Copies of this chain bind each other. A is one copy, B any other.
Amino acid sequence: MPANPSFENSKQVLDNGYVRLLDVMGDDSSPDSDARISTGIAARSEDQQTTLVRFLLRHKHTTPFEGTAIKFEVRAPIMVIREWFRHRTFSYNEESGRYKQLDPLYYAPNEERVSYQAKSNHQGSGDTHEEAAKFVVQWKDEQAAFEESYNELIQTHNVARELARLNMPVSHYSTFIVTGNLLNWFRFLQLRMDANAQFEIRVYADAIFEIAKQYFPRSFEAFSDYWLEAVSLSKREIDLLKQMMPSAIGQDAFTSAMPAPSPNFTKRESEEFRQKLIRMGLLA
């Protein structure tokens, strides 16, 4: 297992969950060297690798990110797993409720997570925190009741596990192994680190991001810059923006704002930026 022992390779997530890196294939120079087969030019300096990796992600040339693999073991509530497994390009192996009695682990949100939701509903109410605390107690009681029933059906009555789990709550934790290449992970992270994703899966995505980017810092930086934190304006929005702009930026103002060319912002990228601004009516 090539996990670098000097990195943080596992993280606790939620009350009883975790993500744990199992294996990695390739490193941050893999996208560069796989891309270079197209042009036949041998791998070069670190700076040239950065330039190429940024170019690739900027222009959605994504195949060079596919010649890698990152494999995790994850423990998460079933409700999170249900969302996760909608990502169909990953390979999965999961604990089976047919073949084993699942461990007695359940997810219960803390009060702040609940309060936050309640507040937005009845604002100004002073007792949301207390109320939230009551909900959490109730949820834990329900989970304990299920656990007792589940355990008794299997241990005492010898009911088949595949039936005994009938009323298992989706807050129950299960464990799985997930393998994907860099592109698969980028797609997952872009959707699941988004503010619109449900909190419970977002914290898993955040943990994956932190661990994986140690192994592919250059690729993940480009991913953050071009995908995760980019802003996209539709054709209609561009047209509206043109209407409302009092005056365009002058070429001089553009030129003087441009940084000195570097692998992190090459002359080529600067020119592409200039063309975009012209197309958006922001640059005269």
Q: Which of A4-12, A42-50, A55-63, A210-218 contacts B (4 or more CB under 8 A)?
A: A55-63
Indicate the member of A34, A165, A175 with the most B CB atoms within 10 Å. A34
With known contacts A67-B91, A142-B149, A166-B107, A232–B234 Cβ distance under 8 A: no
B181 pairs with A170, CB closer than 8 A: no
Are B163 and A170 interface neighbours, CB within 8 A? no
Question: Which B residues lie within 8 Å of A26 (CB)?
Answer: 23
Name the CB-closest residue of B to A198: B162
Residues from chain B with Cβ under 8 Å of A2 in the complex = 2
Identify which of residues 209-231 in chain A touch chain B, using a CB-to-CB cut-off of 8 Å: 224-226, 228-231
Q: Which residue of the partner chain B has the closest CB to A235?
A: B229
Q: Which of A39, A117, A237 has the most chain B CB atoms closer than 10 A to its own CB?
A: A237
Q: Decide if A232 touches B231 in the complex (CB within 8 Å).
A: yes
User: What copy number does this chain have within its complex?
Assistant: 4
Cβ of B37 and Cβ of A177 under 8 Å apart? yes
Interface residues of A in 233-257 (CB under 8 A from B): 233-238, 240-241, 243-247, 249, 253-254, 256-257
Q: Which residues of B contact A108 (CB under 8 A)?
A: 166
Residue A133 lies at the interface, judged by CB distance under 8 Å to chain B = no
Assembly CA distance A168 to B138 (angstroms)? 13
Is A135 part of the binding interface, using a Cβ–Cβ cutoff of 8 Å?
A: yes
A residues lining the B interface (CB < 8 Å)? 2, 23-26, 34-35, 37-40, 58-60, 63-64, 66-67, 69, 71, 73, 78-79, 82, 85-86, 88-89, 91-100, 107-109, 113-114, 117-118, 121-122, 131, 135, 138-139, 142-143, 145-146, 149, 153, 157-160, 162-163, 165-171, 175-177, 179, 181, 191, 196, 198, 224-226, 228-238, 240-241, 243-247, 249, 253-254, 256-259, 264-265, 273, 276-277, 279-280, 282
